Structure 1
């Protein structure tokens, strides 16, 4: 596939075509339901230099090394780093204290155990943080869902459901809050127009710093 060919074209009731470079350096196109393919292709050609620049930027960012799940390996939670300690002869599941602990006998399933643990933490942490900013913005979602998406940190449905990737709880709280505010504002402002960013800034004046951190470090937030 040509590097400038979109990996996916997502159509919805939006008004404009937008281009997105994911954390894996692939192109995603978001387009109106009836936008012709020729219009999409024209925009991609027009924005070729921008696309190539953004892809190069993404490829230059830190990449997570493959986890080996051994004693002393580093894991992130809420922006802090914890050493993994394997408990000899134990059947214990995942627990967090000064270190991240797991029983030796659970090592064959440790990746799935960690995913489940992080997802549960996301279910515990995110709704309360959403509630706080919902009160500030007066945008209240009908439902909050924790998902396993890889291409997006969060999304907002037309029915009022906010979906968050469980990997988000690896990030610092202030970065989590930026993603929350971003999606809450999308409940009233579906595009990324100047009006959208004005609303984000009104709730979070330093959002650009948080956004930049996520952009630079997002490939590190995984297992």
Structure 2
């Protein structure tokens, strides 16, 4: 049996070692600065069964595959697929109708344009939905940020700042709402205790369905 090797080792001033299986089924090790490669290797051998199980689970989840940015290729927005339509001879950027449109001359920069377009949509959609649910919960976030994180969909800082990854706008609106309520509840309930989930359920009664959708489809939410 060949040894398992980490795809990436990140050393920092943390105190403990953690093993992470990314959306791409890669093994990332986060370790204290002085942790030896031998110690990391021993931990990977000890946790091999868990690692292989998690990798298999991640690979079984749907993924968009390699992007080619050609006519007819589909992209998600708010849970719906839109085929890409290339406008012959045009220099137009990204626009949305019954399809996702882009000018032929802009195709070489299509990925960057799409990322910027999604981020712009997230900046318009997410804060408005946060404001609505904040009023329901009577919470007052100090700031709402749109970020480009890879590891988290959202986070809540101790200062009251809520951060959301722009990729969330690829998900259905009800999944977005679950993530928003999840972070708002964290403003007064920092843990994931029974009380925390009771507070989430009061606003999103079927939150577990949306949480499971996000876990299963997370690889699809990207370009």
TM-score (norm 1): 0.82
Aligned partners of 1:23 and 1:218 also within 8 Å: yes
Give 1:45 deviation, angstroms: 9.3
Please tell me whether the aligned partners of residues 4 and 48 of structure 2 are also in contact (alpha carbons under 8 angstroms). no
Q: Is the 8 A contact 1:9 1:28 kept in 2?
A: no
**Secondary structure in structure 2 of the residue aligned to 1:195:** helix
CA 1:122–1:51 in 2, change beyond 3 Å: closer, same or farther? same
Kept in 2: contact 1:152–1:165 (CA 8 A) = yes
Pairing 1:35-114 to 2, within 5 Å after superposition: 52-114=52-114
Compared CA separation, residues 211 and 187, structure 1 to 2 (3 A): same
Which runs of 5 or more residues in structure 2 are unaligned?
none
Where does 1:190-205 land on structure 2 (aligned, <5 Å)? 190-205=190-205
Unaligned runs of 5+ in 1: 31-36
Query: Structure 1 residues 142, 11: CA separation in 2 closer, same or farther (over 3 Å shift)?
Result: farther
Q: Is the 8 A contact 1:7 1:26 kept in 2?
A: no
Distance 1:154 1:118 in 2: 16
175-184 or 49-58, larger mean C-alpha shift: 49-58
Q: What are the superposed Cα offsets for residues 63-114 of structure 1, whole Å, 9 maximum, x if unpaired? A: 2211111111101100111111110011111110111111111111111111
Q: What CA deviation, in whole Å up to 9, does each residue of 1:101-153 have, x standing for no partner? A: 11111111111111110000000000111011111212221111111111111
Aligned mates of 1:141, 1:161 — CA distance in 2:
6
Deviations 1:164-213 (A, max 9, x none): 11111011000111111111111112222222211111211100000111
* Secondary structure of 1:150's aligned partner: coil
> In the alignment, which residue of structure 2 is the partner of 1:150?
150
Aligned length: 215
Cα distance, 1:179–1:62 mapped onto 2, change above 3 Å:
same
Q: Partner of 2:177 in structure 1?
A: 177
Q: What is the CA distance between 1:53 and its match in structure 2?
A: 3.3
- Does the CA contact (< 8 Å) of 1:156 and 1:162 recur in 2? yes
Q: 1:135 & 1:44 partners in 2: Cα distance? A: 46
Using the TM superposition, name which of 75-84 and 187-196 deviates more: 187-196
Question: 1:208 maps to what in 2?
Answer: 208
- CA root-mean-square deviation: 3.2
